[in-house]
Homo-oligomer: A and B are copies of this chain.
Amino acid sequence: MYLRAISFLRRQGQDYVSSRDLADQLHLKSPQIRKDFSYFGAFGVKGIGYRVDTLIGRIREILKLSGTQKAALIGAGRLGKALALYPGFGLYGFEIVEIFDVSPKKIGKKIGNTKIQSIKHLGNLEKRGIRLAILAVPAEAAQETAERLVEGGVRGILNMAPCYITVPKRVRVQTIDIAMELGILPYYV
């Protein structure tokens, strides 16, 4: 979240940012931000604030986002296609290098420059330097597909299907349930 906000400031040409500025932009209180940063060492300048470049570098280091990371996309449906063409992953250094699907109609076709491969040819992703996967298959197939990913050596899964998936604890899953997020709104409205 900080990375996104600070990257935005950099694009606008800002060199320094104070915890107060960030707090206003992110709708947080400023001590929150200073505490968060200070957990990872003191890299601000009293009286001035934090240097934007330094901050981006440190946060990328902390989150292990330095350099580029390869990711696989599973499921070339409507959402999968949107994700495959989404440039926003670049900010965090992600690149979708392989796409898989089960449907013969889709296998062999291309999304952008990337060919859709058969899920049967998933193989050992780890050996190809892929440790992350985005799961955009129907909920019914999510658990089964996740298990194949784990076999393939994947260490982190972004699950777009509206269900929980169970994996060995060395594997991290992050689930996004878009409809559920919308479901939160009426309560407050």
Distance in Å: Cβ of A96 to nearest Cβ of chain B: 10
| Contact A156-B185, Cβ < 8 Å, known A81-B78, A86-B178, A88-B178 | yes
From A30-38, A62-70, A117-125, the one touching the partner chain is A62-70
Contact with B along A51-73 (1 / 0, CB 8 A): 00000000000111100010100
User: Contact between A172 and B155 (Cβ–Cβ < 8 Å)?
Assistant: no
| Cβ-neighbour of A132 out of B77, B157, B180, B186 (below 8 A) | B186
Contacts A78-B82, A82-B79, A156-B186; A92 near B180 (Cβ below 8 A): yes
Asked whether, in the complex, the Cβ of A94 is within 8 Å of the Cβ of B64, the reply is no
| 15 intermolecular pairs with C-beta atoms under 8 Å apart | A3-B180, A5-B164, A26-B164, A62-B187, A64-B186, A64-B187, A64-B189, A78-B81, A89-B179, A91-B162, A92-B179, A92-B180, A131-B189, A158-B178, A158-B185
Query: Are B26 and A91 in touch, CB under 8 angstroms?
Result: no
User: How many residues does chain A have at the interface if contact means C-beta atoms less than 8 Å apart?
Assistant: 53
A164 and B78 alpha carbons, distance in the complex (Å): 26
Least Cβ–Cβ distance between A136 and chain B, in angstroms:
9
